[in-house]
Structure 1
Amino acid sequence: MNRALFLVLTLLVSVTIQGQTFGIPEVEYFNRRQYDGATQNWQVSQSDNDLIYVANNKGLLEFDGNRWQRYGKFITGAVRSVKCIGKRVYAGAHNDFGYFEYDSLQQFRFVSLATNDSLRSLGDVWNIYLWNERIVLHTEKALVIIKDDYVVSVVPNLSRFVSCFLANEMLLVYDEQNGLMELRGNEVFPLVNGDFFADKYITSIIPLSKSKLLITTMNNGAFTWDMTAIEKWKGSVNSLLAEANVFCAVRYNDETMLFGTIQKGLLVTNMSGELLLHIGKDKGLKNNTVLGLFVDNQGAVWCGLDNGIARISLNSSISFLAGYYNIGTGYVQQKYEGDWYFGTNQGLYKIDQKRFEDPLKERTHFIKISGTEGQVWSLYHDDENILCGHNLGVYEVIGEKSRSITPPSVNGVWKFLPIPGHSDKLICGTYEGLIILSKENGRWKFKTKLEGFDKPSRFMDWDEQGRLWVADGYDTAYRLSFSSDYQSLLKTAVYGPTHFKQSVSVKVTKIAQKIVIVGDKGLFCLNEIGVIEPYKKLDAFFKASLYPSQIIEDGLKNLWLFYPEHVELLQYTDADNYKNIILPFIPLKNKLVSSFESVCVPDSSHVFFGIEDGFAHYYLHSYINFRKPFKVHIRSFKGRGDSLAYTYFQNGSSEADASNDLVYKYKNNLFEVEYAAAFFGDDNIEYATFLSSLDETYTEWTPENKRQFSKLREGEYLFAVKARNSYGIESIPHTISFRVLPPWYRTFYAKLAYVLLCLIVLLGTVGIINKRIEINRQKEKLKAKDFYKKKEEQLTNEALKAEQEVIKMRNEKLRSEMQFKEQELASLTVHIVQKNDLLSELQGQLKRIKRIKGQDESERKIESLIQKIGKDIDNESNWQLFERQFEQVHQTFINKLVERHMELTDKEKKLCAYIKMGMASKEIASLMNISTRSVENNRYKLRQKLGLKTGDDLSEYIASIG
């Protein structure tokens, strides 16, 4: 640690340690299961990237602020020494030594410098120093000098090199038989009076000045040496050092020294040898044997123990009277006549001032006052008495005993208040209203319980008019007015939720002599006209309208603001102005007694708080730099399938690490990043991360120290992480870059193949399209041809239909004419038949008249008439007319009949025509002027001529002709 850092620590921390004699700084203990090593831990060192390294019997341990890691397989045997020099971590073990360093793959590898058998037989390496640009290793057999990674000299012992030290640029070695000696060049030389220590086992050497050293021994205490004379150290702690067996020691700063002992744990003294602090097994170390000491760059002390590792917050302004002292939950504390009183849930404890300031005080020095077992709420004292407000009433404390001064009906005394103008009277707030105590003959006695008010009176104070304001901690406050003798209650004014913006919890306090109501929705006060209004004087100190649950003003006019998880100080400056102080009280986060916060400021230097397991002490004159920068490191970066995790350390800037060209295949596109902040002793470290192309800004703050992301597209990525500690200080972001390759189907060659394939497909598509166009063109031609053909057929069909319509109309006309002619033919036929019938009848009658004799002339004329009728009946012209008419109607029949049967006579044709017309034989006989029998005969002959067989119907045959 350089001189500048020592000066800073001196200015900022030395007075802090002076103020920690009341309590014990916070101790963080790590057991072997946490760091996965052996019990004994010998030396501690810190690298330039702020990580802590510990020499452990099972290997080299590394702590990054989040987790421990052990490197044991690279180095043989127990590691006894460790020293961080530059980017290397030098380690010494049994018969082996060398250095750890991150290789090109960011893997922490060990390089052994014990390159031959003689170097591998030197035993344990107990110390490592950087001296005159050379590395010096201390073993009991020899000193090994290394330069540029090569052993340049081995300096053998004279008897046994028990220990070795670097002080004021001198490398001093303690030889068991020759005493204290100095390494010069490649040899050791005796010092003046150095043989004085030949049998005293030197364990440490601390520079007191440039010309004076403090030399500690195992069993003989400490000595001073000014390069010539040796004297017993005159420090008052020296006898304790001899008793405790000092094993190691370091200088903390220009004003303070630390001694690790075998029997007493850690002893802290000033440079004069006055004991300032003692931390042993029962006070947080868990082990009294300290084998190694180291002060990190935050000012914390690391102790390598015989069983475990401890980190002591010696750089904190807060110390604790808790744990080991076992006095219970703290509610109230006060100093009275040289004694300190502490009220807890277990009773009232007392310790005298001298014991209280003694760093070696024990839990037995806290004496419980007899009779006060149980819950203590409050304390009050005057020049003669001290009173205890208890769950069971009021007790007067007398020495180490107590007596109750209230009747059994009085329970739970929250607070004592002197009555203005009445020094012999006290008003006390209880669980159920108010009681009055009066002082008679120098002793306090119970006077009365005030009638008319039975509300819990936990928070109360007087206003300037002598009225008592009371709040029960819920949503209502009361203003009480009393009679002049304070024996009775005159008036009660009630202020409910509507006066306090619906606050569900209100408490009464006094700020600068003014009554202020503290509510969860704001601060309130009574104005000049008697109306409740907001109290805005402190609004500038309340962030986002977050109001404290309680405000307490101390005797120095400072205001203590208590929030659910932390406390703040508004330090009074002048003219009613305040300075907000928060950071020193961060260690109290989540330790205060919720809803029962208490603070005691007995003087201008000390402050006490009640906490869940005792009390905390704050030294008002502490000046600690809480804004020290710190680093965050990427401890592990892995992609899917990685066998190794890559580690990257912040280089102090926000530039991205080269990351060794981290390139990942697309199939390994699942990443896990783990990171850690090298800020120790803080359980509330939070992280925010950013991944380019995925996040628009940093994520929300979270205590999670790892992040996973997957399914990233190919491309360049930048990952950044930053940390924030409990003090609100942010680290510089640590960034690394990496690249994700595209999947095979999005590579350059794949894209080239896609282009070629697309060209092929395009050309094929063009060909197919052209082919389809040609096919469509042919189809269109065929379709057009088919269309025109169908159109032609349609026109033809329409023409045919039209022609058929004409033919149909013509046929209809012909049919009508035919029907008409058939009707005429039928009529003619009927007429001929009727005529013939008539003529036949006339002819018959005339024949009958002729046969009448005697009438010659008449007979002659009748004969002539008969012949004439006969001619008319058989008139050929009638037949020809009938034939013409028949042929017009049945032209096809006649033609077909002639074609088939040319041999038919006209008479037979006539008979066929009559049969065609469906005439009966009788009608045919009339038309042919023959008998019916002759018709039948003629039909028979016709059948033969037509070639009809027996059974064939003549009429059907004739009808079938046409």
Structure 2
Amino acid sequence: MITKYYKPIATTVLLLCFLFANSQIKNIGLPEIKNFKKSDYDGGTQNWGIEQDKDGNIYFANNVGLLQFDGSSWNKFVLPNNSSVRALKIGNNGEIFVGGYNEFGYFKPNEKGKFVYTSISKLINENNRKLIDFTWKIHILKDEIIFQSFGNIYIYKDKKLKIVEAPNRFQFSFLVNGKLYIQDISSGLLTYSDGKLSALKDSQIFNNTEIWGIVEMPNKKILITTLDKGVFIIENNSINSWESEANLFIKKNSSLGMTIIKTDFIVINSVLDGMIICNEKGQIIQHINRKKGLQNNTILASYVDSDNNLWLGLDNGIAFVNENSPFTYFGFSYDLSTVYSSVVFGGNLYVATNQGVFYHSWDIPFKEDSFTLVQGTTGQAWNLQIIDDILICSHNRGAFQISGNKVVKTLDTKGYWGFKKIPDNPNYLIGSNYNGFAIFEKSGSEWNYKNQIEGFTKSASTFEVEPKSVWLKKDQFVYQMRFSTDFKKFNYVKTYENLDKSLNGIRSIQKLQNTLYFQTKNRFFKYSNENDSFTEDTNMSSRFKNLPIINYCFEDNSGNICYSFGESIGILLKTDSGEYKNIGSPFSNLTGNLVQNYESVNSINDRNMFIGLTEGLAHYDPKLQTIASKPKVFVRSFSFPGDTINVGNLTEKKEISVPYKSNSVTFKFSSPSYENLENVQFSYKLEGFDENWSNWTTISIKEYTNLREGNYEMKVKVRNSFGIESDPAVFKFSISPPFYRHFLAYFFYLCLIGLAIFLIRQRIKMKIRKNKYYETIEHRRLYLEREAKIKQEQFELEKEIERLNNEKLKIKILAKDKELVNNSLQVVKKNKILNGIIHKLKDIDSDVLDDSTKTQFSKLNKSIVKEVNADKSWKDLEKHIKNVHFDFLKRLKEKHPTISPRELDLSTYLLMNMSTKEIAEIMNISNGGVELARYRLRKKLGLNKKENLIGFLMSI
């Protein structure tokens, strides 16, 4: 719950506040303190010196060596003899001069950014080198580098070393405004110039103590702090004890040095009780010790960085003190827990917490270390409000009136969230309690409980009051309750679920410029009683258009609008022209530490604003708000398999080429933004690989694997705790192609392709010529083949003609054979007839014939016999048949050698397709004899019953 109740402060207090506020070192609360343990930086416990380079990196002279902190990571560098580093100084050319035991020299990055140590002490004779002891201080005076030990000062110039011996024994030395002061234990305070030492008048008073710090104050005053004799001031050539509050503190706790911060203030380190910051009059503005947040009370070194923040080298660890912030804090050292509300009243600062109400005198600076519990308020205190000059506390045990250090009156015993006056009824007060609402009535100067309002029992801390009604916000709903005339009950209760059909729920209700507004998603609406509806106020909505989605807001007494969003807050600051300027970045430091849903912002005046936290109270002074500079970001290192380039240490950035086999690379980023380190975020983009910037992340390492060859640009930017983005840092590198994709390889490939094309062309030409040759040969072959084919076809045609002629001839021969056979058969028949006639003539008795008839008969008989005997037709037929079928008979005889001549004749007759009767007549056998001969022939030829004999013979 945000509270906003104000009370004018006494004029003297306001003047005091103004004076101290202008001091630029806050005297209310404690600055943010960040402790680094030895386990964080992996070094020794003691830190003797602190320096910062031009890139913002912080260096520490540590027990085990030189430490480097870039905001993201720690690095350690050791001396060759592994001795403790007691002094360091950053050179003009990037050298880091260091001094240890019997050793001094400098670290400087090589071409890969790795710090390489160069020993200057080697210029001293080896025997004398062992007498150096510890180098305690290093100074750069004009073109001389001065290393100071107890026995000597060593002056390094133009790569040569000159030694100036101590008159007796040196203590420590200090460079102030171009003048080098050195303490000698017997000669007092000396000054060095051009190789000579001169004693300072009346400075022997320091012979019985150790000087640990010398600084110049305004008006050329010199301030000197000693280990055990307090603080002295040199003014008008006289040395006197500095009579001041700070001197009393140092005399009690001893000093180990001092430094100037913000021009007019002095940081003094102590041995026993932390450190103090005082003004030029010696008034202590801040005191920070172990109880207030430091991890160690012995401060060995202090250093103010480029952002006016303070670094402390402790006897055990390192501390960062955020002196440049407009925020300071009342935390555990002030015995405060979760804070829900705060208010200044009656010269006290009252704070409502989860343990009760605590108070602290509103004196500036705060002299006491803790707040005191108001008697009777133990428990959950939700709210503190000043109403008609009465301080009222809303508590889980009731409503209390507080005065001074105790509860003076209990107004009601029910738990309460808060109170508001009823407009147009100044004597009535309405309070939101655990059971609904109650009415309080003013009697004289006192508020008294009157009655609980009936008709509504819901409980919530967010409500607003109008003359005739109350609006209460609970969950996503808003309830409107209308009073009865006697304020004893609500006659009318209505619930509203949204402000517009396009918006779900109602986020907050608040009064701004005396107007009640209802808000959701940064759109503000006003309620109309006449229409019972909500109308958007576009003018008010436009003020929040470009802001994050807010939870709720309120208006302070200066017309500024405070708003809550997410886990943070912001302010719309009202300007003289009536416009509003958004201020959100300073409050980003509080992100995550606010009491969610119960944010408390209490504006006392234009220099004092208190904000409740989960662990205490924050004080904000708007007048101290410095313009946050744009942060810087660096690519600290670039690693790939086989090598690491410490880019952040290089004075000259050059493009790096990485072999293809090492194409997995790792980047480390850093930003010397030491305020709220946990809120520093990085975003990166690898040009040539990433299309868009990455999401913001607190991780400062990014790895890429299997990158292709080519040129790349790694871009990284940082966003500090104020939300301000840096300009991108760019690191260029390239991935060499593999040998087979190298440009020489491509040239070779091009030559190879050219050669291949040439050879292919030659081969094609040869092939074309060869093909033409083979084509000619082929054409010749085809021609010859066609010619041969034609000749073959002609030959085959001739053979076919011959065959046809032969077949025709055979047919004719067969026909002739058939005709001859027929003729032969006719002759046989004739001869048979003639033989029959002859036999019949023989049967005639010639004796009975007369002689002439007998003679004629005898002539006839002889003539017939002669005709029969003279006829050789059968033999000619047989001979002719054998001649015609010679080839057939030959093939048949070769296949069947056992066949007889008679069977050959039968085969011939069968081939000629002669009938059984004709064969019988030719062979002069009976028909049965022919059948028997056929049977024997089939058997000899090996034919079964189903095979045709004539067909078989024709196939031979």
Query: Normalization by structure 1: what TM-score?
Result: 0.82
Please give the root-mean-square deviation of Cα atoms over the aligned residues, in Å.
4.4
SS at match of 1:286: coil
Whole-angstrom CA distance in 1 between matches of 2:907 and 2:514: 154
Quote the residue 1:488 is aligned against. 489
Quote the residue 1:337 is aligned against. 346
Whole-angstrom CA distance in 2 between matches of 1:57 and 1:820: 142
Whole-angstrom CA distance in 2 between matches of 1:677 and 1:195: 47
1:338-487 matches, cutoff 5 A = 338-354=347-363, 357-363=364-370, 365-367=371-373, 369-373=375-379, 375-383=380-388, 385-397=390-402, 400-402=405-407, 410-411=414-415, 413-431=416-434, 433-439=436-442, 444-463=447-466, 466-472=468-474, 474-487=475-488
Whole-angstrom CA distance in 2 between matches of 1:453 and 1:805: 130
Change (3 A) 1:445 1:798: farther
State the Cα distance separating 1:318 from its structure 2 match: 0.8
Quote the residue 1:138 is aligned against. 148
Change (3 A) 1:575 1:833: same
SS at match of 2:328: strand
Whole-angstrom CA distance in 2 between matches of 1:699 and 1:241: 52
Quote the residue 2:115 is aligned against. 108
What amino acid sits opposite 2:166 in the alignment? P
Whole-angstrom CA distance in 2 between matches of 1:626 and 1:910: 142
Which range moved further: 65-74 or 860-869? 860-869
Change (3 A) 1:291 1:915: closer
SS at match of 1:285: coil
Quote the residue 1:239 is aligned against. 248
Q: Is 1:91 paired with 2:98? A: yes
Which range moved further: 730-739 or 83-92? 730-739
Quote the residue 1:157 is aligned against. 167
Whole-angstrom CA distance in 2 between matches of 1:861 and 1:483: 194
State the Cα distance separating 1:277 from its structure 2 match: 1.3
Whole-angstrom CA distance in 1 between matches of 2:19 and 2:58: 21
Q: Is 1:780 paired with 2:790? A: no
1:650-690: per-residue Cα shift (whole Å, max 9, x none)? Answer: 87xxxxx453x744444444433323122222423333445
SS at match of 1:784: helix
Change (3 A) 1:927 1:584: closer
Quote the residue 2:8 is aligned against. none
Whole-angstrom CA distance in 2 between matches of 1:712 and 1:743: 12
Corresponding residue to 1:128 among 116, 130, 138? 138
Corresponding residue to 1:536 among 535, 538, 543? 538
Which range moved further: 445-454 or 708-717? 708-717
Whole-angstrom CA distance in 2 between matches of 1:633 and 1:548: 34
Quote the residue 1:597 is aligned against. 599
Which range moved further: 672-681 or 280-289? 672-681
What amino acid sits opposite 1:497 in the alignment? N
Whole-angstrom CA distance in 2 between matches of 1:804 and 1:681: 118
Q: Is 1:311 paired with 2:320? A: yes
State the Cα distance separating 1:300 from its structure 2 match: 0.3
Where do 5+ consecutive residues of structure 1 fail to align? 1-11, 652-656, 899-908, 940-950
State the Cα distance separating 1:84 from its structure 2 match: 1.8
SS at match of 2:787: helix
Quote the residue 2:671 is aligned against. 677
Which range moved further: 117-126 or 811-820? 811-820
Quote the residue 1:903 is aligned against. none
Quote the residue 1:943 is aligned against. none
Query: Normalization by structure 2: what TM-score?
Result: 0.83
Whole-angstrom CA distance in 2 between matches of 1:119 and 1:227: 41
1:543-592: per-residue Cα shift (whole Å, max 9, x none)? Answer: 65732112121222111121114321111224642121123223112222
Answer whether contact 2:86 2:99 (CA < 8 A) is retained.
Answer: yes
Change (3 A) 1:752 1:458: closer
Whole-angstrom CA distance in 1 between matches of 2:907 and 2:826: 18
Quote the residue 2:646 is aligned against. 646
What amino acid sits opposite 1:672 in the alignment? T
Aligned length: 901
Quote the residue 1:892 is aligned against. 884
1:862-941 matches, cutoff 5 A = 863=857, 867=861, 870=864, 874=868, 880=873, 891-893=883-885, 917=909
SS at match of 2:775: helix
Which structure would you say has the larger RCO, counting Cα contacts within 8 Å and 6 or more residues apart?
A: 2
Change (3 A) 1:729 1:926: closer
Answer whether contact 2:24 2:262 (CA < 8 A) is retained.
Answer: no
SS at match of 2:558: coil
Answer whether contact 2:57 2:70 (CA < 8 A) is retained.
Answer: yes
Taking only the aligned residue pairs, the percentage that are identical comes to 26
Change (3 A) 1:587 1:871: same
Whole-angstrom CA distance in 2 between matches of 1:925 and 1:681: 144
Whole-angstrom CA distance in 2 between matches of 1:913 and 1:391: 150
Corresponding residue to 1:625 among 614, 624, 627? 627
Quote the residue 2:508 is aligned against. 507
SS at match of 2:673: coil
1:544-583 matches, cutoff 5 A = 546-574=548-576, 576-583=578-585
Whole-angstrom CA distance in 2 between matches of 1:895 and 1:102: 118
Whole-angstrom CA distance in 2 between matches of 1:623 and 1:398: 34
State the Cα distance separating 1:341 from its structure 2 match: 2.0
Which range moved further: 28-37 or 540-549? 540-549
Whole-angstrom CA distance in 1 between matches of 2:736 and 2:289: 57
What amino acid sits opposite 1:96 in the alignment? E
What amino acid sits opposite 1:154 in the alignment? V
State the Cα distance separating 1:833 from its structure 2 match: 5.4
State the Cα distance separating 1:317 from its structure 2 match: 0.4
State the Cα distance separating 1:789 from its structure 2 match: 3.8
Change (3 A) 1:209 1:895: closer
Quote the residue 2:517 is aligned against. 516
SS at match of 1:499: coil
Answer whether contact 2:600 2:611 (CA < 8 A) is retained.
Answer: yes
What amino acid sits opposite 2:387 in the alignment? D
SS at match of 1:259: strand
What amino acid sits opposite 2:681 in the alignment? E
Change (3 A) 1:170 1:439: same
State the Cα distance separating 1:311 from its structure 2 match: 0.9
Answer whether contact 2:453 2:488 (CA < 8 A) is retained.
Answer: yes
1:705-784 matches, cutoff 5 A = 705-709=700-704, 718-738=713-733, 740-745=735-740, 761=756, 764-765=759-760, 768-784=763-779
Change (3 A) 1:345 1:818: farther
Quote the residue 1:525 is aligned against. 526
Change (3 A) 1:35 1:843: same
Whole-angstrom CA distance in 1 between matches of 2:921 and 2:705: 123
1:865-912: per-residue Cα shift (whole Å, max 9, x none)? Answer: 9849946983856x55x77777776652589999xxxxxxxxxx9999
State the Cα distance separating 1:284 from its structure 2 match: 1.9
State the Cα distance separating 1:154 from its structure 2 match: 0.6
Change (3 A) 1:894 1:664: closer
1:1-55: per-residue Cα shift (whole Å, max 9, x none)? Answer: xxxxxxxxxxx99847657322111111111111222111112111223221111
1:794-838: per-residue Cα shift (whole Å, max 9, x none)? Answer: 334433454454445445545554565555456555555555666
Answer whether contact 2:563 2:570 (CA < 8 A) is retained.
Answer: yes
1:30-109 matches, cutoff 5 A = 30-74=36-80, 77-86=83-92, 87-109=94-116
Which range moved further: 822-831 or 261-270? 822-831
1:279-310: per-residue Cα shift (whole Å, max 9, x none)? Answer: 11122211111111111110100111111111
SS at match of 2:624: coil
